[in-house]
């Protein structure tokens, strides 16, 4: 499917190009969603540049993701399709940019492109050129990335309060497991956004070095550098948040282990306290004929008192040694 955005009085007019229908020559932005071979050839003819196939888009080599064509530059970056989901799925999007128009090739549905499509239709202040539309899209992507990182930071703060203030206990297995899963989901979201920022950082650096080919203005050069700094700061925020998540996970497990050790300590102390009376009961349970207290009327009371005395002596000894 091809969606073409052509100039109009209010902004860019959205048109869905039917199969076999020629692309409008006035198209400023051509958004290709899972294009067929015929649609790809039509876009290449209008752009004067070769558009990479899906297999080429999936390549991980930087030279295959960022390169220049005779009439345009080709850049492939990672975008999240639904950034605020617990496990955001990433999709490779290719930007074929010239001084006149922009072509985006995608096989997913990133929300940033959908938002940009609505914006260019309403905002008449956006110049009708490919670089202007591209920078509008980049601004939306960076804003969404920053919002997602801030949301992940807010979830981290909530989980930190839950762990260090309310407390996580191993006696409530479901609560403990949910805390670990929540921290894992935050970490996974941050890792995915880290990949997005790294991809966009390389993309903008390549655009800055090839800006003359697409006739970037001085203002657009400054915007490109500003976007690069914004992405770098988002990436640093993600790195710091990732380190804090590792600390929180270690702290959560450590607190639970400490609680379990305390429980084991209680049983160990009880075993030591009741060891002397157990020994006394074992001795008086042997029933030898020549035992002095065997026919003594107060023998039972004496043995019980001896057991209580041994418990008290052991307890106060452990308290004195600060083992209790």
Mean model confidence pLDDT for the chain: 83
Query: In this predicted structure, which of 26-35, 61-70, 169-178 has the lowest mean pLDDT?
Result: 169-178
What's 296's DSSP letter?
-
Please tell me the predicted confidence (pLDDT) of residue 261: 79
Please tell me the predicted confidence (pLDDT) of residue 147: 87
Q: Are 41 and 32 in contact (CB under 8 A)?
A: no
- C-alpha span between 264 and 272 (Å, rounded): 13
- For residue 319, the SS3 value is helix
Per-domain residue ranges for the chain? 2-259, 274-320
Please tell me the predicted confidence (pLDDT) of residue 62: 60
Q: Are 48 and 70 in contact (CB under 8 A)?
A: yes
Tokens representing 119 are 């914006």
Cβ partners under 8 Å of residue 62, min gap 6: 202
pTM of the model: 0.76
Please tell me the predicted confidence (pLDDT) of residue 132: 92
- For residue 14, the SS3 value is strand
Please tell me the predicted confidence (pLDDT) of residue 81: 64
Domain range 2-259, CATH class: alpha beta
Residue 222 has pLDDT above 90, yes or no: yes
- C-alpha span between 198 and 221 (Å, rounded): 20
Burial class of residue 183, CB neighbours in 10 A (0-12, 13-18, 19+) = buried
Residues belonging to the chain = 324
Please tell me the predicted confidence (pLDDT) of residue 316: 87
If we measure between CA atoms, which residue out of 42, 204, 218 comes closest to residue 134?
A: 204
Across 191-205, 261-275, 276-290, which has the greatest mean pLDDT?
A: 191-205
Q: Are 48 and 103 in contact (CB under 8 A)?
A: no
Rounded (10°) angle between helices 275-283 and 299-320: 160
Residue 7, H or E segment:
strand 2-7
Residue 226 has pLDDT above 90, yes or no: yes
The torsion angles phi and psi of 290, rounded to 5 degrees, stand at -90, 20
pLDDT tens by residue, 152-180: 888 888 888 887 776 666 566 667 778 88
Please tell me the predicted confidence (pLDDT) of residue 85: 52
> Who wins on pLDDT, 131 or 53?
131
Number of neighbouring beta carbons within 10 Å of residue 152:
23
The torsion angles phi and psi of 94, rounded to 5 degrees, stand at -100, 135
pLDDT tens by residue, 104-131: 988 888 888 888 989 988 888 888 888 9
């Amino acid at each position: 499917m091809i969606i073409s955005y052509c100039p109009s009085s209010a902004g860019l007019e959205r048109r869905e190009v039917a199969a076999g229908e020629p692309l409008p020559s006035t198209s400023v932005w051509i958004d290709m969603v899972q294009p067929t071979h015929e649609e790809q050839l039509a876009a290449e003819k209008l752009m004067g540049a070769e558009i990479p196939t899906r297999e080429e888009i999936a390549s991980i080599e930087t030279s295959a993701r960022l390169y220049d064509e005779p009439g345009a530059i080709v850049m492939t970056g990672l975008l999240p399709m639904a950034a605020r989901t617990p496990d955001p799925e990433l999709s490779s999007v290719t930007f074929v940019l010239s001084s006149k128009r922009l072509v985006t090739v995608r096989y997913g549905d990133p929300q940033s492109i959908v938002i940009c499509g609505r914006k260019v239709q309403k905002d008449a202040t956006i110049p009708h050129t490919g670089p202007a539309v591209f920078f509008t899209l980049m601004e939306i992507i960076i804003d969404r990335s920053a919002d997602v990182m801030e949301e992940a930071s807010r979830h981290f703060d909530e989980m930190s309060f839950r762990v260090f203030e309310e407390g996580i206990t191993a006696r409530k297995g479901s609560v403990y497991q949910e805390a670990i899963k929540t921290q894992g989901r935050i970490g996974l979201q941050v890792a995915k956004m880290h990949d997005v920022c790294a991809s966009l950082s390389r993309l903008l650096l390549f655009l800055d070095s090839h800006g003359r080919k697409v006739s970037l203005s001085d203002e657009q050069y400054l915007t490109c550098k500003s976007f690069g700094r914004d992405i770098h700061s988002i990436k640093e925020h993600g790195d710091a948040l990732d380190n804090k998540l590792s600390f929180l996970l270690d702290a959560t497990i450590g607190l639970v282990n400490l609680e379990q050790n305390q429980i084991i300590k209680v049983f160990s102390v009880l075993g030591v306290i009741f060891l002397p009376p157990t020994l006394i009961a074992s001795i008086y349970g042997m029933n030898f004929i020549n035992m002095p207290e065997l026919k003594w009327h107060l023998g039972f009371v004496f043995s019980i008192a001896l057991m209580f005395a041994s418990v008290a002596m052991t307890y106060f000894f452990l308290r004195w040694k600060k083992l209790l």
